[in-house]
Each structure stands twice: as C-alpha cells, then as structure tokens.
Amino acid sequence: MRRATITLQPKDDAPHIPADLYGHFAEHLGHCIYEGLWVGEDSKIPNTKGIRNDVVKALKELNLPVLRWPGGCFADEYHWKDGVGPRDKRPSIYNTHWGGVVENNHFGTHEFFELCEQIGCEAYVCGNVGSGSVQEMSQWVEYMTSPAKSPMADWRRQNGREEPWKLKYFGVGNESWGCGGEMRPEYYADEYRRYQTFVRNYGQRITKIACGPNTADYNWTEVMMSRATRFMDGLALHYYTILDQKWPPSGSATQFGEKEYRSTMHAALHMDELITKHSAIMDKHDPDKRVALMVDEWGTWHPVEPGTNPGFLFQQNTVRDALVAAVTFDIFHRHVDRVKMGNIAQMINVLQAMVLTDGPRMLRTPTYWAFHLYKGHHGAQFVPLTVKAEESNGEGHTLPSVSATASRTAKGWTVSASCLEPKECVTVSVSGLPVGVKVTSARVLTGPALQSHNTFDRPDLVKPKDLEVRFAGGELEFDLGPFAVASIELA
C-alpha cells in the first residue's frame, strides 16, 4: 500500500473559492437544449413550462451556481430576436455548426431565464460578435436588463416578462480567434472595445467577459491585456482535455487502457501550466488582479459514441472523466486569486456532461458525482496544502499518485483527495486539522474499473459510497482504492 501525506496550512488571508468555479455551459448543440432540457409544455415527459423536471432536480442538487448560454460557436450565429415572442411564430434556422439540424428557436431568452430561475443559478449570456451587429447586441442587453420604458424593455413586457432579469455575466463573442470570426487578436481587441461600449448597465452591473486565448495562445492574452484591460472584467480561457493533447480527438470515451488513461490525466493536469502562464501575463498588465481569468469552456473531448451524429458531440462518461473533473477543481482552487469562474462543457448530453438523457430516462454521470462531492468547497476559504506522495509512473507518463484540495467555512472543513494511481491503493493521512474536529460525512466515488460508466440499464453503477475514515495519532487517515475521488466533511 502506498502512503500519501497531506499537510494543511490554513491562512487567515487566503482567498475564497467562488462558487462560480463550479459553473456550467449549455449550447444549442445536439441534445443539450432540445430533449436534454427543453421538451415543450405538451410533452409527456414531466416538465415545468417546457423544461424537464428530472433534469432540473438533478442540477439543483449540485447547487449549480451559473450557466453559460447559448454557445459556444452557436453564439456567434445566434440572432436573439428569432427566439422571443410566440413560439409558433419564431423562425426556424439551420444550425450550421452543429449537425446541420433545424433549430426552431423554441428555447430562447425567456426560456433560458426560466431555466436559471428553476435551477436557482446566475445567468451568463454570450453575445454575437462574429455575425451580429453592435446594435443587436446592445438591444439584447436592453431587452434583458432594462427596467425603463424603452423599446426593448416594452417588447419584453409584451412577451410576458415585466421585470428585467438579473444578468451577472455577458460574454462579448466566443472563440473570436476561431468559429467566432477567425480574428487576429489586434482586430478583436478593437472590436471588443467597440461592442462592450454598448453593453450598458441598466441599474445592474454586468461583468463583461472578453474572448480569451485558445489553450496556450499566450500572444492572444498579451495583446488583449495590453490593448483592452480597462474595458473588461474577465478574459475567457478555453482548454479541452484531449487524448495526447492532439486535435482531432482520438481514442474512445469508454474503450481505453492504462496508456490512454495516463495520457488523458496528463492532458488534464496541463491546465495548471496554462493558468500559471496566462496569469503571469495578466499580472504584468493587471497587478491588482481586477480582471478575472474565466475558464468558460473546459472538459474532456472524446470521439462521439459510435453510431451517433458526429455533430452532436455525444460521449459517454467514465470514472476517468470524474478524475479529470476532480484534478481540474484542485487546480482551479490553487489559482483562485485569478480564476473566478469555470464552465464545464457541457451540461447535458454533450461532451463531459452531468446528465445523459434518452427519451424520458435520465442518468447522472461520474462527472456529476465529482461535482456533487466538491459542493462543500463552494464559497469556502481556500486552505493551502502540500501533498507528499510517490509519483505514479507508467506508459510514458508520470502522474502524482494523489491530488488534493481543502477549504473551510465558519461551520467546518472539506478535504478532497483523489487517487490517480490506476492499480494501487494509497493510505492518506491529513494533518493540520483543528483538535477535536469530527467527521460529519465521508464519501468516495470509484467504480469496478476505470472504464466504468452509468448506462440507462445500470444508472447507479458509479455513485459515491461511504468511505471509512479514522483518526490515528491526531491525523485523519483513510485508504483510497485506485482511481478514486473522496471528499470528507468535518465540523
């Protein structure tokens, strides 16, 4: 049995972990919105105002803090006026990015805010810079947030919503370096400055987010920060975990061996280097860290499930994906002075999803459970720590055998630890907890195999179970099996 030692080093001035690091992303892509969320008021699937009850219930249980919508690449082709007013009068469009399917615009602005209200989360809307005008973007913000008597606010009222909605975040374009317009950073910096000018604050302060770099495009960050820092509140980083870090995605979501496992975890851990290097550039231009780095798309991107539409990005989700989520949270926590939001891609039926649906059936994925295990960290104060553990070597990739994080609130402590070792167990001991503290909950997520996943016939194969913990010589101690994520709450 391997051993790992976690030493907590609480600091009174350590930053808090914004709940928004545990944010989500829902795009008009495949069955994320349609069927995954929106079934319509006449559906036999139980729904409230057209939105599936089972999915909302599952998402509420995650204390889901914030939701980004309508894309993604779709955002830069989305014309919001198509998606308001009586549904039978809304025009259908062709979803050119994602599967070439007909988009009937039945899920639009009102439905999105209804969804946020049902979940109880903040709204993050991404505007269209690539193919939309400044006026269109500006009017959308007016429609959503103006309390005044003005043309767009009156139209919103006419469409059934008297009060403005609360809009916490607004993204000025998506991936403007790619599907959002293939722009150079110098050009986008100017476009960003122009568009954001007309994202007006109608009595509420909207956090404005600029399109940031793709993965390791440090030049993008440099140009944006040198030309537009004072006009933005956040800069969005996109990074996907892809086998061997090579595009297009290869391998399989469920059929993989130790080599692919190690390569995937190695790719996930690369997030640390990306954040470190982008943050260093931001520090140069913004030493007070006013502008946040928002990782508003992240997660695993595997080839689609065989037999499914390649444009729908539908993939299964195994214990490996849960481990990717856990190490990503641990990394976010370490950079919480600069990173203020994360949005996993995507919430339902697309990429590294929380839930999968099949007609009336729904299942929670291992990634869902990783989010669930980390709920104790939302809003808590980060507790710096060190981990001493042997490295895990094999198949050309060295991984830490244990990744961990901790936080505290006035009510208690949360310690999370993952065993990344694919074959061996590890005994973990945690020092630095206050004397007399008691365990209130200890749960572990693992499966019979790394490839284990939930199916509609076995929806609960991978699900957290109680973890046995003990105090030995004043230290918290527990045994973790291979490929396991654990969270222990203490008070």
> Peptide bond preceding 448: is omega within 30 degrees of 0, i.e. cis?
no
Q: Is 297 in the site for ligand AHR (CB under 6 A)?
A: yes
Closest to ligand AHR by CB, 95 vs 346, is 346
Residues in the chain, how many? 491
Of the residues 103, 175, 191, 260, only one is catalytic, namely: 175
Closest to ligand AHR by CB, 179 vs 461, is 179
What's the CA gap between 370 and 372, in Å, rounded?
5
Q: Is 400 in the site for ligand AHR (CB under 6 A)?
A: no
Closest to ligand AHR by CB, 72 vs 249, is 72
Residue 287 makes CB contacts below 8 A (sequence gap 6+) with none
236 forms bridges with which residues in the sheet? 211, 294
Is 207 in contact with 23 (CB distance < 8 Å)? no
Q: Which range touches ligand AHR (CB under 6 A), out of 68-76, 82-90, 411-419, 470-478? A: 68-76
Alpha helices in 31-124 (DSSP H): 53-60, 109-119
175 is catalytic: yes
Closest to ligand AHR by CB, 74 vs 413, is 74
Closest to ligand AHR by CB, 109 vs 352, is 352
Q: Which range touches ligand AHR (CB under 6 A), out of 12-20, 67-75, 280-288, 472-480? A: 67-75
Closest to ligand AHR by CB, 248 vs 474, is 248
Cβ 301 to ligand AHR shortest distance, Å = 8
Cβ 27 to ligand AHR shortest distance, Å = 5
Question: 43 to 62, contacts with ligand AHR by CB under 6 A?
Answer: none
* The only residue of 4, 33, 58, 73 in contact with ligand AHR, by rule CB under 6 A: 73
Q: Which range touches ligand AHR (CB under 6 A), out of 14-22, 278-286, 345-353, 411-419? A: 345-353
Amino acid occupying residue 78? Y
Of the residues 111, 122, 260, 297, only one is catalytic, namely: 297
Q: Is 27 in the site for ligand AHR (CB under 6 A)?
A: yes
Cβ 64 to ligand AHR shortest distance, Å = 17
Number of helices and strands in the chain (H, E): 9, 27
* Residue 148 tokens, joined: 């005044």
Cβ 155 to ligand AHR shortest distance, Å = 28
Residue 42 makes CB contacts below 8 A (sequence gap 6+) with none
Q: Is 71 in the site for ligand AHR (CB under 6 A)?
A: yes
- 164: which DSSP letter? P
Cβ 217 to ligand AHR shortest distance, Å = 13
* The only residue of 84, 295, 324, 345 in contact with ligand AHR, by rule CB under 6 A: 345
> Which pairs from 391-396 meet CB under 8 Å and 24+ separation?
392/420, 392/421, 392/422, 392/424, 394/258, 394/262, 394/422, 395/258, 395/259, 395/262, 395/263, 396/259, 396/262
Angle in degrees, CA 206, 210, 216, rounded to 5 = 145
Q: Is 246 exposed, middle or buried (0-12, 13-18, 19+ CB in 10 A)?
A: exposed
Is 332 in contact with 407 (CB distance < 8 Å)? no
What's the CA gap between 117 and 145, in Å, rounded?
15
Cβ 248 to ligand AHR shortest distance, Å = 12
* Residue 171 tokens, joined: 């993204």
Question: 170 to 189, contacts with ligand AHR by CB under 6 A?
Answer: 174-175
How many residues bind to ligand AHR according to rule CB under 6 A?
Answer: 10
Is 341 in contact with 21 (CB distance < 8 Å)? yes
* The only residue of 23, 65, 72, 164 in contact with ligand AHR, by rule CB under 6 A: 72
Q: Is 260 in the site for ligand AHR (CB under 6 A)?
A: no
* Residue 393 tokens, joined: 């070597």
**Of 180, 200, 231, 216, the residue nearest 71 (C-alpha):** 180
Cβ 174 to ligand AHR shortest distance, Å = 5
Is 179 in contact with 297 (CB distance < 8 Å)? no
**Active site residue ranges:** 175, 297
Contacting residues toward ligand AHR, per CB under 6 A: 27, 71-73, 174-175, 297, 345-346, 351
